[in-house]
Structure 1
Amino acid sequence: MDRGQILELVAHYLVIVVIVTVVLGVVRAAVGDIGFWVELAVVVVIVALYRPVVKAVDMEPSAWKRE
């Protein structure tokens, strides 16, 4: 894995962190305190759905592509 691929992955991981932060903020503002386990479930769902969504819109980093 070269430096360019690592930088691509870092960018995607930063996007995941931003998405999780925004979604949890919106949920907390709309519903209030939802508890640790529900927040953890939201994070797991977001992380699990991120890669297929990014692949579907054809924006995945080169490290995720099969050779």
Structure 2
Amino acid sequence: MNRDHVLAVVPHYLAMFLVIAGVLAATDAFFGGLGFWIELAIVIVVASLYRPVVRHLRIAPEPWQ
């Protein structure tokens, strides 16, 4: 990977981090503490779905095309 590719995806990884933090905060507010394993499953699902959703919305950076 070159520097331009890394710089292109950094904002999306930051956005993914914020989305994961928001989803975890929302589930904590609605359901209380769910436990480590359920929260880990939520993180894995959100992280796995982020890239396909961004590609579908056509806002993915060039390296993800």
What is the TM-score with the length of structure 1 in the denominator?
0.89
Q: Which residue of 2 aligns with 1:31?
A: 31
Larger relative contact order (Cα-Cα within 8 Å, sequence gap ≥ 6): 1
Instruction: Compute the RMSD of aligned alpha carbons.
Output: 1.0
Q: Unpaired runs of 5+ in structure 1?
A: none
Question: Structure 2 length normalisation: TM-score?
Answer: 0.91
Structure 2: unaligned runs, 5 residues or longer: none
Match of 1:45 in 2: 45
Count of aligned pairs: 65
Spell out structure 1 runs of 4+ moving beyond 2 A: 1-5
